[in-house]
Structure 1
Amino acid sequence: MMKIDIRYYTKSGHTEKLANAISEVINVPAKPISEKLDEDIDILFLGSSIYGNSIDPTLPKFFNDIDVNIGSIVSFSTAGVMESTYEQIVELANLYGISVDKREFHCRGEFAGINKGRPNSADVENIKRFVRDILD
């Protein structure tokens, strides 16, 4: 049986909303990256966001604290203006010898009055479909 886990970092709750949608699909609790991985896993759904043109500094610390085997990371993210965190996650994962799936999920998040209501119900349904496709 495949072992899957979900970790995310959020300041606004947008990435957490997506993590909880993933949780509904795979029936695994979504946890913040402050909760250390405690066993080897096949797939890690890792959520992040862009803050000031970059991922939050707590993400490198999360990677540094990994002491289990991870088969592959599937990145998901939100951002108000910037594109996804995918390239930054790949760079970080490469430093630790962890592969990142080429497929990613990204959607807009509400920021400073733009993208009102995002991620919205369509975004939530889209990430659920994305997760099902990953697992098929």
Structure 2
Amino acid sequence: MNIEIRYYTKSGHTQKLAKAIAEELNITAKTIDKPLEKDVDILFLGSSIYGNSIDPAITKFFNNINVNIGLIVNFSTAGSIESTYEQVKELAQLYNIPISSKEFHCPGEFVGMNTGRPNNNDIENIKKFTHNFI
């Protein structure tokens, strides 16, 4: 089974989650500027909310996909919005890529809110999520 991890982050919060997934799966997490080079069974895709939306870099990532993806698993951080799931789901549907209804989201530190998040508990929770998903 080919599993890949791609993520986008400005603050490093989503990167922390990506690295925890990578540690759990014993693979390397890469930023979305690293294209997928071969077909993927499961793509863990991480993003965050910036100004009530995912960054346009995520849309660009989808535009540049030229391999088959069996399933996207969304993970995200955000200061005040619940998750990036619905926005990523819209893109996945636009490109006819299945997306799991299961996702992982935790708060990210933002302008004094959610100080220290993602924290050690969040890291352990995403590892459990990943283990249980696989």
Q: What TM-score results when the alignment is normalised by the length of structure 2? A: 0.99
Question: 5+ residue gaps in structure 1?
Answer: none
2:116 aligns with: 117
- Distance in 1 between the 2:91 and 2:60 partners? 10
- Distance in 2 between the 1:127 and 1:83 partners? 16
Question: Does the residue aligned with 1:81 lie in a helix, a strand or coil?
Answer: coil
- Distance in 2 between the 1:134 and 1:40 partners? 20
Question: 5+ residue gaps in structure 2?
Answer: none
- Distance in 1 between the 2:83 and 2:37 partners? 27
Question: Does the residue aligned with 1:122 lie in a helix, a strand or coil?
Answer: helix
1:15 aligns with: 14
Give how far 1:47 is off.
Answer: 0.1
Q: Which runs of 4+ in 1 moved over 4 A?
A: none
1:81 aligns with: 80
- Distance in 2 between the 1:23 and 1:116 partners? 24
Amino acid aligned to 2:64? D
CA offsets per residue over residues 55-84 of structure 1, 9 Å max, x none?
000001000100000000000000001110
2:49 aligns with: 50
Q: Does 1:37 align with 2:51?
A: no
What is the percentage of aligned positions where both structures have the same residue? 65
Amino acid aligned to 1:63? F
- Report the aligned-residue RMSD: 0.4
Q: What TM-score results when the alignment is normalised by the length of structure 1? A: 0.98
- Distance in 2 between the 1:129 and 1:123 partners? 10
CA offsets per residue over residues 21-45 of structure 1, 9 Å max, x none?
0000101100000110000010000
Instruction: Tell me the number of residue pairs that the alignment of Structure 1 and Structure 2 aligns.
Output: 134
Amino acid aligned to 1:106? H
Amino acid aligned to 1:75? N
Q: Does 1:70 align with 2:76?
A: no
